[in-house]
Structure 1
Amino acid sequence: MSLPFLPGTSNNKQLGKERFHKSQHFDYSNGLPLMVGSEKPGIGGELLLGQKFKPNWASLPRREGSDLASWVAYDKQVLSFTAYFEETVLGVQGEMNKVRECKIYYYLEDDTMQVVEPNLKYTALPQGTFIHRQRVPMPPPDEDQFFQAFHFNINQQMVLFSRTFTVTSCDPFTRNFLNHLGVILNEPGTVPEDPYSKLREQRTSPRSSPEPPPVPRPPRLMPPYNGFGSEEDSLSFCRGLLPKPPLKDFQKFMYKDRKVMTFHAKILTEDPIDSERLFVVSYYLIDDTINVYEPVQKNSGILGGRFLERVRVRKPGQELFTSDPPRYYEPQDLYVGASLFINNMNFRLLDADEYTFGYMEQNEQEFPQANVGTILSKLRSLPEEKLSEMRKLLTLSDPGDSGFISYESLRGLLEKLDCDLSEHEMLVLGRRFCVHQQPEQDGPLMLAVIQDFLIRKNFDAFSEMSSSLEYRDRQKTGRISTKETRSICKGSRLPLPENLLDGLLRMFTVGDEIDYVAFMSGINWRENRAPSVMPADTLKLLFVPSSSTTTLVPQSRIRFSSLLQHLTV
């Protein structure tokens, strides 16, 4: 009795099958019918009789405990082999073989290969990448397949694009990986000696003749400057066929960008009109350029404006058309009292702005004219007779025995004794020992303005500030140094202008310390609210000059007693 032709009761393999496509085995080429699909599968992708399964990609084992795909799990993992190949080179003695070493890399993520030959010196052969990264087909008769990881082994030959490579060794990672795949590695091989390179070395460096001593190269003479462009650009055209732009000092650009030294100057001339003209000389530290501007003066009859565009200025006394590098004005050449030769005119620097004085004093190692230590050393090196006369004249200039004299008196005394100090050095000396009297300020009004500032900025972190101040007070005296108090104010981001903060600290200064309890009580607008203030009072306090400003006038008070103490050290 036969079984019914129903699912589950028949041996028909076609039951449940969904793919019934047919591979194309025949095609026309140049009008001729040809069989082009002898290796293609049958209906539905099933292998025909005598066909074998040929995978397109390597079936690498998955990592233990990982469900990632192979191309993700083996990302950036490469098998590295050392190999060599031989090629025929036509030499003087006929044809001979040259041995060329190379590296074979097999990328596990996509089964691609790359062959790279390391660069060697003193060879005219093209080197570098020998075979670009790609899938390399196997030699015939398996040219329809590609090399995979299990095809590799050491001390064996591989044919890559009709060239025979001999694999000699591999790295430890490659050895461990192939062992896990079940590949039994052969013993490492050696690279044979290269007869071509050996013969080349014997000819280029014979043993019989010793190498002559190196001949010193004479200095390269440069032609003189021809006047076109800048000296650096003209010099770059003489150093090579392809001129390169001059290199910029990047470190100087980073540290001195937007830093300008500004001086007031006059022309040294006998012309009464030109001698009254005022100029502003700006020196840009980023590229050592100078700009000169003449402010407009009413009823002078001279049009002001730009006198010199921003450019580097050569020092006088130099030939223009010469091969020697030019010398330009440097920052150290500019100071109060110095002379500059610009556009065939002599300028004398009369004064500088506060930023210039401050910058030169902060960088006193770079500016000798602003170095207080150097100035005091000059005074100490004077003969003892001059020092004794200086002490005597300073004492006579202070009949009230207050320890102070005016800057005008100090300057006249130094000029009279011929102390060999420039105008800038005398100004720096006066700034160093000058005592400024700050105008008396209304304490309640300042506290009211400060509280108004804090209310506008919505600042109320008073408890945090008090905790920080109490932590710094290790002796529990209720006072800490001014420097520590200022640091805590900055760290707490107290939103006050610098001049108001200076006045606030001076208000609660006791000796060299701050009464921080009274300080916090004065600014705490939540517990000790001050009366409201008018906008005019706020503006009056905002524009009071800070104590850090050290502007000298002839009537400025100089503490000469402190100066004498420094001279006797």
Structure 2
Amino acid sequence: MTGLPKLPGFNFRDPTLSNFHLSQTFNINNGYKLPKQNYMGIGNRELDCNSVKYIGINDPIRFDPSLTYGRCKTKPLPQFIPHYALYDQKCLTFKAFFKQSVVESRLEFYRVRPVNIIYFLEDDTITVIEPRVSNSGLLQGKLVRRGKIPKYDDGTYWHWKDLAVGKDITIYGVVYHLVECDVFTREYMSSQGLDMADSEEMPYDPYTMNRRLQIMPKVTKTPPADDKLRRFLEYDGKILRFKAAWDDRENELGDLMKFEILYFLADDTVCVKNVQQENSGRDPYPLLLRKIKLPKIYTDTPVTYPSIYLEKTENEVTEYYQPKDFLVGDTIFVLGRDMMLYDCDKFTRDYFKNALGIEQKPGIVVDTPKKELPPPPPPPHDGLGSLQDSLQNTLTFMPKRPRKDVMKQIVNANKYLR
């Protein structure tokens, strides 16, 4: 029967065959059609092309390269992350404010209350939190509980696409004006194609500003970073000596008086000693100024300072004299007295040169030369006594007996003029 030609009337039907289903050639996997490698014929019968007769040595259909080269590595499919896990703990933060009207108050008419509006991306919920301020007297904290906020009466809710800097949003009848957002919010909005406007300035609360103006600021003075013990151990006994002169001759009964200024390096104090001159006619006193810190401007005190019964402290003095202010040839003011420095000792010159890098000027002569007066002429002889006796009365208040010339007596002894 296999040798008969395939013409009508020359083929015979197998009466035992009852299944004539046609096998499909494609499989559908995840919505994609994939061709089947091996499939059967009509009625789930083996095809002739799949028999051993048609198998070649290198049949490309039945050749499996994985048997020779191993399984090929395929790129893994990206892991599916649900929406709530992808945006977990990711929030959009906006800074906003709303104005609250105040009635029956003469100090304020409205209040500006800053808030933080937080939008949670994981479930599209919103919460409004006001930062707590101590002693504000207001109920602050969480103003709106976290949840989906209705936008209109039609059932729509506020979405992150509706939020932008400079926009007004209404939450349960309260109008909030958005003025600023954080860096993450700007980057997220930019990635979604929304550009945020520039940040606006948060308006100030009038009542809070008036309270701040009424409160006097607390002014503190930072103590100097000076180790007193180290200075004492290093500079104890080291004193800068300057010679000064106070010229008070422009006033009545004034004179040129000399002083010695001592600057103690251990504690930056100044002492002024008096230089007593012989036959000056003044009472001797050791010190003009005891050892204190010498202020530069003695009269620079606040107007409200009660200087009648209080002494000045470091809080009232703006600046004190330092070693760099003592230069030969300059004038310093010692509690209102202008004294010119005209000389200093060798230790002071070496200290300024080595420690401060300043070369002191040479000494200045301040003494004015006095004119030598001619001796007064002796008064004429009054005729009483000898001439020497009368001359002794003009030389001393208590006249003494004139001295005898002993040598003249010895030489002229027993010599007479006849």
Normalized against structure 2, the TM-score is what? 0.32
Structure with greater proportional helix content: 1
In our comparison, the structure showing a higher alpha carbon Rg is 2
Q: State the TM-score, normalized to the length of structure 1.
A: 0.24
